[in-house]
Amino acid sequence: PMVPVSTDRMLNGFQHVSAFSENPSGLVASLFGAAIPPEYYKTSLFIKGQPGQSLYIYNIGYQDADETAPVSTAMRVGFVVYETDTAGAFINPKEYIFAINTAPNTAGSLYNTAQGSAGHVLDSTRSDGSTVEFTPYTPDHYCNYDPASDSVSKKDGAVALGAVGRTPVKIDVYVWLEGCDPDCTSSIAGKSLKLLALGFAGL
């Protein structure tokens, strides 16, 4: 089970709630500390392709364990994509954070930090609960993939994660419950995903 954490930049790290305080809307997060795995999930992938291809995500598939209290609406999937230099070192990381389920907020949703508002996440450069406005990528930024013909095409707004070739490209994958999301409340406590699947394509 993951602990709700928050960040606007994965390479700066994640923060979790250390204490809550009372305000007119109820308990809200007020003190924060550094978070470490397994409070969030991290793994690394190494992907190769044809020279000159751009790497896209065509699907982040998921299945909630409880569809009446979906964890997916508060979940984020992030990619840190590195270039590979001539010596084989991984350099120039670029970050991409996706919201995988953009359905309307669930019943009882509440923005749960003492500062900020919906659409904000914790400022990763501070530890005082400061928040910053942040807009993640969404399924609108996937490319098109037709499994019947095994064909890939770019759609308007699709975001390229980087270039791939015969030398493997390193991708750090992060999965977390965004603690500043209005849906990340007690309504999803103890809930989980049955499935999370990533689909990459070269174009």
Q: What is the reported pLDDT for 154?
A: 93
Q: What is the reported pLDDT for 26?
A: 67
| Average pLDDT rounded to a whole number, residues 166-191 | 85
Q: What is the reported pLDDT for 113?
A: 67
* Three-state secondary structure call for residue 187: helix
Give 120-174 pLDDT, tens digit per residue: 899 999 988 888 999 999 999 999 999 999 999 999 999 999 999 998 999 999 9
Give 60-85 pLDDT, tens digit per residue: 999 999 888 889 999 999 999 999 88
Give 25-45 pLDDT, tens digit per residue: 666 766 788 998 999 999 999
> Whole-angstrom Cα distance, residue 56 to residue 169?
13
Give 72-119 pLDDT, tens digit per residue: 999 999 999 999 888 889 999 999 999 999 988 776 666 566 666 778
- Is the distance from CB of 56 to CB of 161 less than 8 angstroms? yes
Segment 22-25 long-range contacts (CB within 8 Å, at least 24 positions apart): 23/114, 25/110
> Whole-angstrom Cα distance, residue 63 to residue 42?
19
Share of the chain above pLDDT 90, in %: 59
Higher pLDDT, 180 or 101: 101
Q: What is the reported pLDDT for 116?
A: 64
The beta strand positions in 24-52, using DSSP E, are: 26-35, 41-47
> Whole-angstrom Cα distance, residue 156 to residue 160?
11
Q: What is the reported pLDDT for 128?
A: 85
pTM of the predicted model over 0.85 = yes
Q: What is the reported pLDDT for 189?
A: 74
Q: What is the reported pLDDT for 181?
A: 79
